Amino acid sequence: MRVDPFLVERFMGKYEHQVELNLAETCVKPFRLGEFLRLVGREDYLNELMDLPLTYGHVEGLPELRERIAGLYRDLSPDGVLVTRGAIDANFLAFFSLVEPGDRIVSIFPAYQQLYSLPKAFGAEVRLLHLRESEDWLPDLDRLSRLADGGARLLVVNNPHNPTGALLEESHLRAICDIAGDAGAYVLADESYHGLELGEERVPSMLDVCDRAIVTRSFSKSLSLTGLRLGWIATRDEGVMEELMGHRDYTTISASILLEHLALLAIENIERIYERNRGIVRENLEVVREWVESEPSVDWVPPRAGTVAFPSYSLDLPSEELALRLIREKGVFVVPGCCFEMEGHFRIGFGGDGNELREGLARFSDLLSSIQGGPVI
């Protein structure tokens, strides 16, 4: 089976361990294990696990963990939750289970590439719903309706959105669900950055407003436990769950029972983690905002949630060259727009260390002022 190269993964894999200042990260400052256990008040927890039998555990996921995850949603039974190895595995499982060759899939673009390249690899006819900067990177619902018209298997969204930081509010979620209903489609909502609103508003999960939803999420990004490599997929649709289970038997057996116990601690203390993490992203966002406002060649639609933004720049330089010069001359790492098949942009992550962010942006400014060339965009 042919699959397109995953551009952002290839680029990050090549450079992220060579750079001094990494502003390309999408996770909120990952916990050190001790820091996490201290935050949740369970420093002795590893000792408590000494008698844990290291078996396969429960194939669908640790029962207490599924129950806690289900509790994050309105009236969801634990039977509607499957524990996966990160959101990437959850998304894979959704496409692997539901997409037949020739099915129509409508996916937002730009996006985390898995969301459109993988269904294409499974033989789907993938239609892209182009998000536009001039529309605050929000989907145009009439265009979505036209793309889905005549029937679709899945409408794929990502909320909050990587790479732009756009946020679909409840009214958008409901409208997308209605369009899916008219098209006879399910909505696959990747909610990896859920809970990281940058303002005071809270946005519900697609699963809480749409019975056709299949949602994916993980312990990475907004929960800072990326190294657990755990996530989940949730749905209210019993037929979909049956398909997911039947396909998952061929890819996973079970997640790690040891790590599921750590994940359980995280879910039990999810509000404390959100409090830490919203503090980090909100403070860092102001650093990026000040920088963007001070840079004449850089502009943006300010992100409304998550850990990333997708500013534009007006220099006569391809995005890859800009990013490579930033790496080589300044030791600073951002993701060029070309990794999202969009020139004239770069993705910056602001979930990390504030001092690293300030220093990285100062060096970015040095590079921008040393670059000659007139505006072209």
| Site residues for ligand PLP per CB under 6 A | 26, 86-88, 112, 158, 162, 190, 192, 218, 220, 226, 231
Residue 214's H or E segment, with its range, is: strand 213-218
Of 86 and 344, the one with the shorter C-beta distance to ligand PLP is 86
**Sequence letter at residue 145:** S
What are the structure tokens assigned to 220, written together? 């990475």
Of 158 and 312, the one with the shorter C-beta distance to ligand PLP is 158
Please state the closest distance from residue 12 (CB atom) to ligand PLP, in A: 9
Residue 213's H or E segment, with its range, is: strand 213-218
In the bound state, the residue with its beta carbon closest to ligand PLP is 86
Of 94 and 144, the one with the shorter C-beta distance to ligand PLP is 94
| Among 206, 96, 220, residue whose Cα is nearest residue 155 | 206
Gyration radius of the chain over CA positions: 21
Please state the closest distance from residue 26 (CB atom) to ligand PLP, in A: 5
Please state the closest distance from residue 158 (CB atom) to ligand PLP, in A: 5
Of 164 and 226, the one with the shorter C-beta distance to ligand PLP is 226
Q: Between β-strands 104-109 and 125-130, what pairing exists: parallel, antiparallel or unpaired? A: parallel
Please state the closest distance from residue 263 (CB atom) to ligand PLP, in A: 12
- Alpha helices by DSSP H, the chain: 7-15, 33-39, 45-48, 63-70, 86-98, 114-121, 141-148, 170-183, 238-248, 257-268, 270-294, 319-330, 354-370
Of 317 and 348, the one with the shorter C-beta distance to ligand PLP is 348
Rounded to the nearest 5 percent, the helix, strand and coil shares of the chain are 45, 15, 40
Please state the closest distance from residue 114 (CB atom) to ligand PLP, in A: 7
